[in-house]
Amino acid sequence: MKKQILIFATITTIVLTSCSKEKIETIETGGNEEIATAKSGSGGSSLTPEKGLLGRYEFNGNLKDTTGKLTNGVPTVNRVLYTTDRKGAAGKAIRFNGAYGVNIFSVPLDSNMSVSVWVKYDMLPTVYQRQMVSCPHSFSLSQVENTFQAAHYYYGGGIVLGPLPVNNNWHHLAATFDGNNLKFYIDGVLQAMGSSAADSGPIVPKSDYLLGYGYNAGYKYWMGSMDDLRFYKKILSDSEVQALKNL
């Protein structure tokens, strides 16, 4: 009988210890719905921000918004090119050859927004900057020679950060804007931040985004590849940006 009581007490202790550990882990994450923990094959973990996700374009052989919240992309020509993505998977990234772009119509805008994308350039534009992701009333990510820069525009003003040198490998870019301040990240690291008194005015409820091209003394087209474009209606934290870079 004593042996049975001892076994029961041991099992109870194990169960209570396990539950306590699970409770502690829940408290440490703050029960935050915008963070989900995904275990990697090597035993590590990464944090994936999901709350506030407005739209996501994976470019896995199509131009669909996987969240269903935004319109699907519309190319400026009939044929879209796809290429190997940043992880080496064939046909799972879009390739811009300098002859076409993609439109995402009527993206809702907010005073707190973020954008995240993977890009890899093929050519060094030497005369004009080439827009990779651009909106006349929100974010702009562009390439100038071997540098990347970020901007945020309103009517009659804006903030421009960069240019920052990069090589022609895949790079993760992210930018956040809180109504006054713009932050620019490359490969998960905050590179620049700034604000401008000129960047003020009414928030446009919706605006179109242009991918792979933009207007700069006439429409100019970018040459490079793009993967996993995301729009957020919130400010990504430094750790969330780092998590996106590690996906």
For 26-58, the pLDDT digits (tens) are 222 233 333 333 333 333 334 556 789 999 999
pLDDT at 152 over 80: yes
Q: Is the pLDDT of residue 154 over 80?
A: no
pLDDT at 200: 56
Query: How far is Cα 93 from Cα 44, in angstroms, rounded to an integer?
Result: 26
Averaged over 75-103, what is the pLDDT?
A: 97
27: CB partners within 8 A, 6+ apart: none
Q: In the beta sheet, which residues pair with residue 116?
A: 174, 230
Q: Is residue 118 within 8 Å of 170, Cβ to Cβ?
A: yes
193-199-202 Cα angle (round to 5): 130
* Mean pLDDT across 63-72: 97
Taking 80 as the threshold, does the pLDDT of residue 226 lie above it? Answer: yes
pLDDT at 128: 82
Phi and psi based region of residue 87 (left: phi greater than 0; alpha: psi -120 to 50; beta: remaining) = alpha
Check: pTM over 0.75? Answer yes or no.
Answer: yes
Does the structure show a pLDDT above 70 at 216?
Answer: yes
pLDDT of residue 195: 86
Query: Which of 105, 43, 111, 53 has its CA nearest to residue 74?
Result: 105
List beta partners, residue 225.
95, 120
